[in-house]
Chain A
């Protein structure tokens, strides 16, 4: 069952700390490795049936009354992503077993976070329900935050983690708003239903805002320009994490989201332009900046940004097909871009995963990732070198590696764009192939830098922290598998195309399935004749080689961008300003004086409640239906009033506390009169315990001094007090006459049938409104821990200095 598959990593994550503690001699990774392998094998068996067009839906009710259900939906698109998550996940965990030392690292934490992330990612790609999707989406942000900050003693790790969290979560909240707009428009949370009904809503006023907000979520997650700045800093995470989160899976969540929502928003000019342009800009900017990086991981980070931009732009181009009728031959030409996007998605995961692992090996075995210190490693690390060549050449788009195929198809797609004649594309269409070509040249250059600067040239052992040697075999298995896939996919691309990419395409473009010529267009061929695409590739290689050779001559280009104007700087500055300003602002009203806070609270109540009451005209007092007031009740009410009035005039603190207690006990007496023994009981015990607490606390407080206040302030206090009192009294009196909802007394009658309880109060607490009770318990726990932490972890007396009095 698919839902269980999603939840299983979380369940195993609960056991990991125990395994880590009790079985210290075995690397915890070996136990964890079982999870993705089993899940991968489980998912593999779906491939044939999904390829023949089947989809699977499993539903577990969660909050059925709101239409929020944990619905797992498996189709071609989610299957591709899920196979990547579990497949690359298995390899990454295998790799991490050799990468992370079991003596020095706290593996318990690491694998818990990693499993959490895996489960969250599976949840994202399988969820059909928008709210559940959002839940898992944010969970990926949180688990990636924890993973990036894994080496939390490093300042840079914490910075990177915070940055990625702030950016992706902000985008995620935007996305949530978009989801809510979508669901209010179409009155459903189910993506399938939204896709089915979307045609009637494309002119809705919320349609474009919802689209842009969903895109905001996708772009922040997939590190699209200008939100890409978090990705290079996320490289502070351990390399297995970078390989997994920041190349193969998490950053692809945004791609997934765009693909998933293409049937909803595709065909609209805004969607086409935003997605393809942002993709193109990201493609160029990423590749352009990757060239100048000296840290290998930073280079790969920018390269990932660029490649994600490439996939994004393909999705944008492909969405144009939905503008046409499905049977139109012109549309098929553009829709192939979607196919290319998914194809490159898989290819990118293979070669970039391998490259990250290669860089991890270099880092692990030499102690540095700085290309200025590296060089001449070819002879020392032959296997790693071969892997690097395979990965880089695939990234550069050279044969015989899978990157070549998808890059050629990408060129085809951008060339096709120039033939479009709608969305006012005629004027700007030429930009697409030009940007794509230029970006490819840079891609070629940085791919060459990666290989040649690291593995060729002079070996400089004196600059390395360790004596370089080949990695242990266990560390090589995973990248070898990925690199073999790079080659296998080149020679047998149609196998992949037929069984994975085509069903994925069918999921994104459901209306195109079965139209004329549908099946023939998915034939990927390594040799496509002497055409423009091939010439472009030859140009890329030619110019790339020249640029690579002349690198010192044009390095100065980067100096043209003033350091002050970078997006990173903007981010840092705005964060700093935000922090300072909010501190200033907060200090202005958080005076630490209890009196001020009470004044704020009461004035807020007065303004808000009086405003609402005046606006709705809710006050209507009608005492004709009220029960008669007996003499006892009147008497107690009078005593309570006298007690309350005498509190402000109490001479000592103890008197005030006792008077307060009297109020509480008298209230309990009221509950007894009105036959609410439960409330009375609770009130009595609460009163007792809190009186004890009060006494305990006040024992340590300094002597009570009457504060001398100006008469003006005293009058104001009196006005506030009287107004609040009047307001509450009026509200209480008019409660009887304003009934917006059905009375809950019907539950009193059937509490026994529904909850098996004769005590209605308990039935409400434990059954009808158990959710409230549960969260109250959690709040209580948090409050208790808060008190404990405040008291126990405050600075010791000597650290606090002289300001301690009365102790």
Chain B
């Protein structure tokens, strides 16, 4: 990227955290409100895209040593894996279940196995989007 991106870089540093928080919120809120693994993943990915746009790839990579290809693969396996896990409990493939846990301070928290499934979706989305963008932008 060209020099003199000070404003963009400074704003990005702050914006990225907001976007990331929002992405996580979207992901967690998905079961009851708008959101979910796909959108959450996309928002998180867009935060990385913003970072990539305002800084260069090497900087981003040093700051976040994540192999996004691996992340995408882990996501896909996680989604398939939660489906398979259902078989171990003797219920059909991809059956989801939900339990509630009572935690101090936070009160009753519902825990659904669908969260794992959605996490897989989110990982796959983040991994794929960022992999594509990095691959293309590196190909100069």
- B75 with A777: CB separation less than 8 A: yes
Does A498 have its Cβ within 8 Å of any Cβ on chain B?
A: no
- B36 with A766: CB separation less than 8 A: yes
Does B11 have its Cβ within 8 Å of any Cβ on chain A?
A: no
A767 and B120 CA atoms in complex are apart in Å by 14
A-B contacts at CB below 8 angstroms, number: 152
Interface size range on A against B: 35 or more
Does A55 have its Cβ within 8 Å of any Cβ on chain B?
A: no
Does A697 have its Cβ within 8 Å of any Cβ on chain B?
A: yes
Does B49 have its Cβ within 8 Å of any Cβ on chain A?
A: yes
- The one of A682, A755, A777, A784 in contact with B79, judged by C-beta atoms closer than 8 angstroms, is A777
- B31 with A781: CB separation less than 8 A: no
Does A788 have its Cβ within 8 Å of any Cβ on chain B?
A: yes
- The one of A681, A773, A788, A807 in contact with B39, judged by C-beta atoms closer than 8 angstroms, is A681
A759 and B38 CA atoms in complex are apart in Å by 14
- The one of A678, A686, A688, A696 in contact with B35, judged by C-beta atoms closer than 8 angstroms, is A678
Q: In the complex, what's the smallest C-beta–C-beta distance from A691 to chain B, in angstroms?
A: 10
Task: Give chain A residues whose Cβ lies under 8 Å from the Cβ of B91.
Answer: 61
- A773 with B121: CB separation less than 8 A: yes
A784 and B42 CA atoms in complex are apart in Å by 14
A397 and B81 CA atoms in complex are apart in Å by 52
A766 and B34 CA atoms in complex are apart in Å by 13
- A784 with B87: CB separation less than 8 A: no
Closest-by-CB residue of B relative to A790 is B135
- A807 with B136: CB separation less than 8 A: no
Does A792 have its Cβ within 8 Å of any Cβ on chain B?
A: yes
A516-533 CB mask vs B (1 if < 8 Å, else 0) is 000000000000000000
- B30 with A762: CB separation less than 8 A: yes
- A762 with B31: CB separation less than 8 A: yes
Q: In the complex, what's the smallest C-beta–C-beta distance from B53 to chain A, in angstroms?
A: 7
- B127 with A781: CB separation less than 8 A: yes
Task: Give chain B residues whose Cβ lies under 8 Å from the Cβ of A26.
Answer: none
CB within 8 Å of B: which A735-780 residues: 755-759, 761-762, 765-767, 770-771, 773-774, 777-778, 780
Does A608 have its Cβ within 8 Å of any Cβ on chain B?
A: no
* A-side interface mostly: helix
Q: A62-B92, A64-B92, A781-B76 are in contact. Are A759 and B69 (CB under 8 A)?
A: no
- B80 with A778: CB separation less than 8 A: yes
- A777 with B124: CB separation less than 8 A: yes
Does B58 have its Cβ within 8 Å of any Cβ on chain A?
A: no
A282 and B73 CA atoms in complex are apart in Å by 47
Q: In the complex, what's the smallest C-beta–C-beta distance from B27 to chain A, in angstroms?
A: 11
Does A693 have its Cβ within 8 Å of any Cβ on chain B?
A: yes
- A783 with B128: CB separation less than 8 A: yes
- B112 with A756: CB separation less than 8 A: yes
Closest-by-CB residue of A relative to B87 is A60
Q: A689-B45, A759-B35 are in contact. Are A788 and B114 (CB under 8 A)?
A: no
Q: A689-B42, A762-B30 are in contact. Are A777 and B120 (CB under 8 A)?
A: yes
- B75 with A759: CB separation less than 8 A: no
B13-47 CB mask vs A (1 if < 8 Å, else 0) is 00000000000001000111111111100110110
- A685 with B43: CB separation less than 8 A: yes
B66-89 CB mask vs A (1 if < 8 Å, else 0) is 000100110110011001000100
Does A428 have its Cβ within 8 Å of any Cβ on chain B?
A: no
- The one of B36, B76, B127 in contact with A759, judged by C-beta atoms closer than 8 angstroms, is B36
- B133 with A761: CB separation less than 8 A: no
A86-128 CB mask vs B (1 if < 8 Å, else 0) is 0000000000000000000000000000000000000000000
21 intermolecular pairs with C-beta atoms under 8 Å apart: A61-B91, A678-B36, A685-B46, A689-B42, A693-B132, A696-B136, A697-B136, A756-B112, A762-B30, A765-B36, A765-B38, A766-B31, A771-B93, A777-B76, A777-B124, A777-B125, A780-B125, A781-B76, A784-B69, A788-B69, A788-B135
The chain B residues found within 8 Å of chain A, CB to CB, are: 26, 30-39, 42-43, 45-46, 49, 53, 69, 72-73, 75-76, 79-80, 83, 87, 90-94, 96, 98, 110, 112, 114, 117-118, 120-121, 124-125, 127-129, 131-133, 135-140
Additional A-B contact list (16), CB under 8 Å, known A755-B114, A766-B96: A60-B90, A64-B92, A758-B33, A759-B36, A765-B37, A765-B121, A766-B114, A770-B94, A770-B114, A771-B83, A773-B121, A777-B76, A777-B79, A783-B128, A784-B72, A791-B136
